[in-house]
Amino acid sequence: MKFKQALTVKEVAEILGCPFVGDENHLVLGLNEIHKVEAGDLVFVDHPKYYEKALKCAATTVLIDQEVECPEGKALIISKAPFDDYNKLARHFSPFVPQTANIGENCEIDPTAIIYPNVFIGHNVKIGANAMISAGAVIGNNTTIDENVIVGPNSVIGHFAFYYKKKSTGFDRMHTCGGVHLKKNVEIGALCTIDAGVSATTEIGEGTKIDNQVHIGHDTVIGKNCLMAANVGLAGCVVVEDNVTLWGQVGCASDIVIGAGAIVLAQSGIAKSLAGGKTYFGSPCGDVRLKFKEMAALRRLPELLDKI
């Protein structure tokens, strides 16, 4: 999430009531979680295991729970509870705004778009030419829908990111201030859920077609002309490159890259990144030819045991 105007690290630290390390005029342009940071962003870290990753990432301001050596060109804000203070900033700059009308504030809907009855549209939504939003769909805050996009009945575009911190009192959800971008000619089936980015954008690339009852996690980026059959489930921060096909009930762990042109057969589980241009099967999935050989060998196991 980018701020409407740049702030100094001193100003941000004052909002939190925290000390800071670095030039008081160091600029903070926005905030983001670790997988999506860019230069100018603020990121949080609250465990020594991840200090190095946070301090070396693209973010130029780090909200951290201990004072450490500050890298050149960056600034630190020292917080007793970085997760909570990050959430405080997210709510400060992108507060929750309740809504009672079917269409929220600051929306742009092209006059050629077809909006069926019982559609709910949140704040800061853009819907392009010839888009079709079917009955019962929910279009959440900060969603952009390009021209010729189809959203099926009762699908939810831009629900809260599934991102929690476990505490002694239970699970504390990170405040969602990101959005979703459905690029032109995308089709979304019925009863799908596409979560908003935590503080960035979940993207579905041009020409991609998604079947019914598919889940796409927060901050996932899907390329052009991909095909996803029913019950596919992708966790957050997955990258699916162009022309990938995922058949029914494929599941994918977070922070995975699926290479361009890959095909993953039905009911496969993706635990590690996959190279493009190959066909995969199994859980954990692997090259389809190898997996079929393994299955053939497994079928012979009773016969082999009888010979022992």
Domains of the chain: residue spans and CATH = 2-93 (3.40.1390.10), 108-292 (2.160.10.10)
> What confidence tier does 302 reach under pLDDT thresholds 50, 70, 90?
confident
Active site residues: 218
Q: What angle do CA 163, 166, 172 make, to 5 degrees?
A: 55
Tokens 């929690």 belong to 164
Say if strands 164-167 and 170-173 run parallel, antiparallel, or are unpaired: antiparallel
Burial profile 13-51: b = 16 or more Cβ within 10 angstroms, e = fewer: beebebebbbeeebbbbbbbbbbbbeebbbbbbbeeeeb
Length of the chain: 308
Single-letter residue type at 191 = L
Distance CA(93)–CA(269), nearest Å, equals 38
How does pLDDT run across 180-191, given as a tens digit for each residue? 999 999 999 999
Per-residue pLDDT averaged across 223-249, rounded?
98
pLDDT digits (tens, 9 = 90+) for 39-98: 999 999 999 999 999 999 999 999 999 999 999 999 999 999 999 999 999 999 999 999
Distance (Å, whole) CA 184 – CA 102: 24
- Per-residue pLDDT band for 297 (boundaries 50, 70, 90) equals confident
